[in-house]
Amino acid sequence: MDEKTMRELAAHAIGAAKYAGALDARAFVMRSRDVTVEWRDGKLDRIRESTAQSLGISLYVDGRFSSSGTSDLRPDAVAAFVQGMVGATRYLAVDEHRRLPDPARYEGATKADLQIFDPAVASVAPETRLGDARMLEEAVRAGDKDGRIISVTATVGDTEAAWVGLSTNGFDAAEKSTVFSRSVEASVRDAGDRKPEGYSYADACVAADLPPIDALGAEALRRADGQRGSKQAATGVYEVVVENRVAARAVGALFGALLGEDIQQKSSFLEGKLGARVGSELLTVTSEPHLPRGLATSGWDGEGMVTSRRPVFEKGVVKTYFLDTYYASKLGAQPTTGEWNNLVWVPGKRDAAAMIAGMKKGIFITDFTGGNSNGTTGDFSLGIKGFYVEKGAIAHPVSEMNLAGNHLKFWKQLAEVGSDPWTSSGNRTPSLRFKKAQCSGA
């Protein structure tokens, strides 16, 4: 289904909604194709290919609202579906805050080439995916000189996606994107029946941005080997470095507390904190939706409002909440956007290795293993594994430990932001060093 056909279908759905009596409507027509190859221990494990096409429609009927979707895109089926949903929406309660965005918010979309679509996706052959997955496993096993590897699973995939959106009050946009992925996981033998695991992965909008297969394989084995002989460190307050590729686990709870729904319902620990300092002066983060080749780059948000650069934290101060049209109306505020895009930090001068070299005693966290974060109070407790550091050197691996605290105190302990943003994520978080953090173990 090409863009022209998708646009015609969206217009057909909007027309059907108006004909059935809807005051306003917004329709998104989406298509995607995803192919994944998994290679495990010297043979093909499975190939998955999925193609999806769908219509999502939001209806505004007599002060009432509903949102629904269908994958039956035959014109007659779409018309019947929309007509039925308009009728069903009339049974819902009136909600005066439900409305489409101000049409002015659709204007001024970036005309820059965001470089989030790689046409090379159309020419990726099945043999190429299979060969890359096989080479990923071979790259791991190349470092195994004593037969310590138990199992290796390599995964290669690519995704192509596109959407067209229309609304009754002037929204009209389209976008397409690609993501290429490589990942590999290895397990190794350890004392007793322990089987430490290590993994590496990379995602990119443009295939040429993926790192070399050899590097990914060597990293997975290094990480698995690094956890052999792990043990708990003593419970205490430590200096902590959180590695870039897992730091988003801690950051996610902080940014999640800025969402309009939780702010409006007073179920966020950042409610009432707009303009207040909640972190150290090093906490400066900006949402950058137009970052070229960013995994969260887009010209529009989920409502169709054009995206723009938005400071989120400046020197520890909360600068914005993420308010869509609905929750902004309920709060009596102007909408910002309901989502963040690429989170860009002001970088420091050192990467994680250099931070560790400067530590007297601390924990280097390389993975989170479950846990929870209370969005209302800010209290959190997260399982961690990584390494105990003493006098600037890694002493031994650690596991079965917990990092605990409260976000309103934890982020004030941020002492250093790394020079190493993790680009295989829309969060793009660098390694982070905290002066004091409570870690429980032995």
334-382 per-position pLDDT tens digit: 999 999 999 999 999 999 999 999 999 999 999 999 899 999 999 999 9
The structural domains of the chain, with segments of one domain joined by +, span: 3-35+47-106, 119-162+171-226, 236-440
Tell me the pLDDT band of 417, cut-offs 50, 70 and 90. Answer: very high
b/e map 327-362, b = 16+ CB within 10 Å: bbbbeeeebbbbbbbbbbbeebebbbebbbeebeeb
Query: In this predicted structure, what is the pLDDT of residue 442?
Result: 78
pLDDT, tens digit, 9 for 90 and up, residues 179-219: 999 999 999 999 888 999 999 999 999 999 999 999 999 99
- Mean pLDDT in residue range 420-432: 95
pLDDT, tens digit, 9 for 90 and up, residues 316-335: 999 999 999 999 999 999 99
* Same fold: 3-35+47-106 with 119-162+171-226: yes
Query: In this predicted structure, what is the pLDDT of residue 179?
Result: 98
Is 440's pLDDT higher than 90? yes
Query: In this predicted structure, what is the pLDDT of residue 115?
Result: 97
| Total length of the chain | 442
Residue 297, number of CB atoms within 10 A of its CB:
22
Non-local (6+) Cβ contacts of 187 within 8 A are: 149, 150, 151, 152, 195, 196, 197, 224
Query: In this predicted structure, what is the pLDDT of residue 307?
Result: 97
Residue 267 is encoded by which pair of tokens? 């179920």
pLDDT, tens digit, 9 for 90 and up, residues 215-254: 999 999 999 999 999 999 999 999 999 999 999 988 999 9
Rounded to whole angstroms, how far apart are CA atoms 222 and 395? 16
Is 285's pLDDT higher than 90? yes
pLDDT, tens digit, 9 for 90 and up, residues 133-169: 999 999 999 999 899 999 999 999 999 999 999 999 9
Query: In this predicted structure, what is the pLDDT of residue 250?
Result: 86
pTM: 0.93
Query: In this predicted structure, what is the pLDDT of residue 320?
Result: 97
Fold of 119-162+171-226: PmbA/TldD fold (3.30.2290)
Structural class in CATH, domain 3-35+47-106: alpha beta
Q: What is the mean pLDDT of the chain?
A: 96
Query: In this predicted structure, what is the pLDDT of residue 193?
Result: 87
Tell me the pLDDT band of 66, cut-offs 50, 70 and 90. Answer: very high
Number of H helices, E strands in the chain: 9, 16
Stretch (H or E) spanning 159: strand 149-167
Residue 304 is encoded by which pair of tokens? 């169709």
Find residue 55's DSSP bridge partners: 29, 70
Query: In this predicted structure, what is the pLDDT of residue 397?
Result: 96
